[in-house]
Structure 1
């Protein structure tokens, strides 16, 4: 039985606590939260009596085996490194770190210590994505030649999750000063993993465009400067030679939270759709290629990332997605940020006379 500590008690921590409590072979035994009011409320909600204000106090207590790190993005690196030094397994929220070098250091440290390390790419929980990858690996659609991947949200248009103009829990996601990496860092990390996992191939080359749209007078609301990117478009080549696009936006009117992956191969094609809850898979293979007929593919249930982490801790065999996998995804995001920075620098440079 793996004893789990929850680090951070924000809204996502509720999902972690509920999921780990429901997972066979695990128990949630403690939590860390700097804010006393939130700490006590979280403990009461989940019946947790071992509550700590900081990591050092929890480590000194020591009666836990693994940690679900649900802190803000910029805090993932220092907190995880401290926990790894203490010999604790870590299940970290995405993104693993704010840049590739830090993410790689986290992966290498966990591996060197022989500790279980996984990242919560929640859309791996989609039975359709898991089945799609299985079909690709089995050669059911031949060699992948082209792909299209998109993550579409519309909370900058509608109010399905609240009003971003007045709520800090959304405004911080639009401000680099408040730690946001924009749509690329927030959900781009998911769709890059979604696409490359489904295609069973890493990104070899990428060319990207980021865009921040005008959303308020002076591009600011109160303390929040609205400068984080809102949309991203990537043209990518995979290691298997496939060419395609990866896009993410918060301005996809009519789409609350929709991920789509289409893979086109020499012997067929598949399409995955999910909103994070329900998912579907359809394919066009065999004789259907000649008539462009698509058929639904049954997708059996799959273990969640939470359940896989628990299993990994109890067996000693690391699960997927690992820290190293998350670092590879971060490498792609860093390339996109670097390309945009270089483009902005070139645009700001005065023209040179010929």
Structure 2
């Protein structure tokens, strides 16, 4: 498979390292508006060609697939161009900035018969994949209740930098700079963690969003600090289970931690993933009588990068697909509607 990496910012290095380590994959080009940055990136990963636009790369055309690592607001335009040119697309999350574009991307890729996948990175967590397997096998019975959280602390801790002075973080706090806040940034990850983990779609939701005061003026330089810092969601799933999902940037003690708990009529499962690794525990059968949790062993799983390559080779689309990501984007969009209307929203 011949691959072009579109966008050479921070996340592109992960794409280059992962795809470059897969047998049969040749990274043949790197695209960036900044020619010098593209050249530095290409030299770091032994990539033969660089381009300063996707159009220029498509005019050359000697490749099969695109890894789209552009900023979120460019995913729609660039992915649609690649699809129109007959290229398979592996796109960073979120697929688009709103459902209309995400749906259009899914429609176009499916109509063209092209492989389309979204890099929801926490699908690479072996413990989450095992969690899903155990749910599908009925290990905890019919799921009744779900809890999921995504906890970060960069508004409290400077472990990843000082948000007050670093544009890398400041833009995430300002809607005028393209941020949809915590819900738009990491919401798709924790919603996917929950919906994939229990193998059930989200059918209705009630959402609350909050941007807390962070500066006496509510603004630092050109950055108006109005994007949500925290969200909570009350959900119902297609399986009938109820759930609570929440995320925040104020969680002291948690640099970047996702947790999912599911409780069924035969037991419970809990997966946690953070900077220091992952764990999976189950309380079922006789253990449920005494509330005893046991660690569940897991085996390594193929990454999204491997599964995209396999999908291109086989011609069978992989998961998570554009369609799945579009459905998740609909839930995210409706979260803002629910907040504005202060009411429960059915996900149609």
Same fold (TM > 0.5): yes
CA contact (8 A) 2:6 2:66 kept: yes
Query: 3-state SS of the aligned residue for 1:75?
Result: helix
Rounded to whole Å, the distance in 2 between the matches of 1:183 and 1:210 is 9
Rounded to whole Å, the distance in 2 between the matches of 1:343 and 1:216 is 27
What TM-score do you get using the length of structure 1 for normalisation?
0.95
Aligned to 1:155: 154
CA contact (8 A) 1:126 1:276 kept: no
**Where do residues 108-123 of structure 1 align in structure 2 (5 Å cutoff)?**
108-123=107-122
Rounded to whole Å, the distance in 2 between the matches of 1:101 and 1:254 is 37
CA contact (8 A) 1:123 1:276 kept: no
Q: What displacement does 1:65 show?
A: 0.6
CA contact (8 A) 2:35 2:51 kept: no
Q: What displacement does 1:38 show?
A: 1.1
Rounded to whole Å, the distance in 1 between the matches of 2:16 and 2:276 is 18
- Cα RMSD of the aligned pairs, angstroms, is 1.2
Query: 3-state SS of the aligned residue for 1:218?
Result: coil
CA contact (8 A) 1:25 1:311 kept: no
> CA, structure 1 residues 90+277, in 2 after alignment: closer, same or farther (shift >3 Å)?
farther
Aligned to 1:45: 44
Rounded to whole Å, the distance in 2 between the matches of 1:149 and 1:11 is 28
CA contact (8 A) 2:257 2:274 kept: yes
> CA, structure 1 residues 172+150, in 2 after alignment: closer, same or farther (shift >3 Å)?
same
Aligned to 2:3: 4
Rounded to whole Å, the distance in 2 between the matches of 1:195 and 1:258 is 14
Q: What displacement does 1:166 show?
A: 1.0
Rounded to whole Å, the distance in 2 between the matches of 1:191 and 1:25 is 33
Query: 3-state SS of the aligned residue for 1:217?
Result: coil
Rounded to whole Å, the distance in 1 between the matches of 2:276 and 2:327 is 26
Q: Residue 320 in 1 paired to residue 322 in 2?
A: no
Rounded to whole Å, the distance in 1 between the matches of 2:59 and 2:253 is 50
Q: What displacement does 1:315 show?
A: 1.2
Aligned to 1:21: 20
Q: Residue 75 in 1 paired to residue 74 in 2?
A: yes
**Where do residues 57-96 of structure 1 align in structure 2 (5 Å cutoff)?**
57-96=56-95
Q: Residue 259 in 1 paired to residue 252 in 2?
A: no
Rounded to whole Å, the distance in 1 between the matches of 2:328 and 2:190 is 10
Query: 3-state SS of the aligned residue for 1:148?
Result: strand
Gaps of 5+ in 2: 344-348
> CA, structure 1 residues 57+277, in 2 after alignment: closer, same or farther (shift >3 Å)?
farther
Aligned to 2:340: 341
Rounded to whole Å, the distance in 1 between the matches of 2:287 and 2:240 is 25
Gaps of 5+ in 1: 345-354
Rounded to whole Å, the distance in 2 between the matches of 1:118 and 1:228 is 28
What TM-score do you get using the length of structure 2 for normalisation?
0.97
CA contact (8 A) 1:270 1:282 kept: yes
CA contact (8 A) 1:25 1:314 kept: no
For residues 302-341 of structure 1, the C-alpha deviation after alignment (integer angstroms, 9 at most, x for no partner) is: 0011111111111111100000110111111011011223
Rounded to whole Å, the distance in 1 between the matches of 2:172 and 2:22 is 31
CA contact (8 A) 2:65 2:87 kept: yes
For residues 217-239 of structure 1, the C-alpha deviation after alignment (integer angstroms, 9 at most, x for no partner) is: 32111121111110000000111
Rounded to whole Å, the distance in 2 between the matches of 1:202 and 1:276 is 28
Rounded to whole Å, the distance in 1 between the matches of 2:202 and 2:268 is 20
Q: What displacement does 1:276 show?
A: 6.0
Aligned to 2:288: 289
Rounded to whole Å, the distance in 2 between the matches of 1:261 and 1:10 is 30
Aligned residue pairs, count: 343
CA contact (8 A) 2:255 2:275 kept: no
Q: What displacement does 1:343 show?
A: 4.5
User: Which stretch of the first structure deviates more once superposed, 128-137 or 268-277?
Assistant: 268-277
Rounded to whole Å, the distance in 1 between the matches of 2:267 and 2:61 is 53
Rounded to whole Å, the distance in 2 between the matches of 1:110 and 1:209 is 33
